[in-house]
Amino acid sequence: MTTAWLVASAILFAALVPCFVACVRGDSASRLVALEMGSVVQCLFLITLSEAFHRVVYFDLAVALALLSFGGGLTFARFLERRL
Amino acid sequence: MHLVHEIVVWASLVASATLVFLCAVGVMVMRDAYQRLHFIAPPATLGALLVVVACVVDEPRPAAWLKAIVVMIVLGAMNAVVTHATARAAFVREWGAWPPPERAPIRRMKREDT
């Protein structure tokens, strides 16, 4: 069953490439959207990777990333509004 | 029963990863930030749900799938808030203020980074 998690991890890792391309080009708002998309993909990637290697403790990384990307996204949005 | 579990895990994971990949491609190819924002929702809701389903079926330890459920809840709740904040920020950056004045015509600000 580990193979399924590894395959999902590989596909999710490949999904980071379009996010990176969108982060590199485009205006500031589009870059922020790509960054948020990348954080969602990374959360799922960490879950699948830790399940593939049977390391339950690494699920905490996904929890921490989900919580921190929430605050980071809101902060970047405020910067984008030019109110900070 | 083991075969059924394996089929559920494979189907959930492949569907979730494919959905996330297609949405990432959608973020890359769409025209502006407002269109791109639509593509964050499916991975944060359905993609996370499918990963959690696979995790619950495959993982016997509750500590693992409970954390996966926490991630799913955080991602689902976070997505709506951050999407709204980002769309509002993009609007303010582009048009100057939110909400837009009702009578005065909206004056488009100079875009610096396009």
- Could you tell me which residue, B22 or B111, shows the higher pLDDT? B22
pLDDT per residue as tens digits for the range B12-31: 999 999 999 999 999 999 98
> Would you say residue A33 has pLDDT above 60?
yes
Chain A residue numbers with beta carbons less than 8 Å from the beta carbon of B81 are 70, 74
Per-residue pLDDT at A71: 92
Which amino acid is present at A80? L
- Local confidence band at B34 (pLDDT 50, 70, 90 cut-offs): very high
Residue at token pair 């909206």:
B106
Per-residue pLDDT at A22: 94
Chain A residue numbers with beta carbons less than 8 Å from the beta carbon of B89 are 29, 32, 77-78, 80-81
| DSSP line for chain A | -HHHHHHHHHHHHHHHHHHHHHHHSS-HHHHHHHHHHHHHHHHHHHHHHHHHTT-GGGHHHHHHHHHHHHHHHHHHHHHHTT--
> Would you say residue A26 has pLDDT above 90?
no
What's the pTM value of the predicted model, to 2 decimals?
Answer: 0.88
CB contact under 8 A, B40 and A12: no
Cα gap B66→B56, rounded to integer Å: 8
CB contact under 8 A, B68 and A40: no
CB contact under 8 A, B24 and A74: no
User: Lowest-confidence range among A35-44, B53-62, B67-76, B88-97?
Assistant: B88-97
Q: With contact defined as beta carbons under 8 Å apart, do A34 and B27 qualify? A: yes
List the structure tokens of B28: 């890359």
> Would you say residue A84 has pLDDT above 60?
no
ipTM of the complex: 0.92
Q: Which of A11, A16, A44, A83 should be substituted to probe chain B, the one whose Cβ sees the most B Cβ atoms within 10 Å? A: A44
CA of B43 vs chain A CAs: smallest distance (Å): 7
- Cα separation values, A27 from B36, B62, B63, B90, B97, Å: 12, 43, 41, 10, 19
Collapsed DSSP state (helix, strand, coil) of residue B32: coil
Half-sphere exposure of B89 (CA within 13 A, CB side): 27
Q: Which of B30, B49, B67 should be substituted to probe chain A, the one whose Cβ sees the most A Cβ atoms within 10 Å? A: B67
Half-sphere exposure of B64 (CA within 13 A, CB side): 23
Cα gap A74→B71, rounded to integer Å: 18
- Local confidence band at B89 (pLDDT 50, 70, 90 cut-offs): very high
CA of A58 vs chain B CAs: smallest distance (Å): 9
pLDDT per residue as tens digits for the range A66-81: 999 999 999 999 998 8
Question: Among partner residues B20, B58, B63, which is closest to A56 by beta-carbon distance?
Answer: B63
Q: Which of B13, B93, B110, B90 is nearest to B58 (CA)?
A: B13
- Local confidence band at B106 (pLDDT 50, 70, 90 cut-offs): low
Q: Cβ contacts of residue A42 below 8 Å, gap of 6+?
A: A16, A65
Q: Which of B109, B53, B48 is nearest to B79 (CA)?
A: B48
Which amino acid is present at B7? I
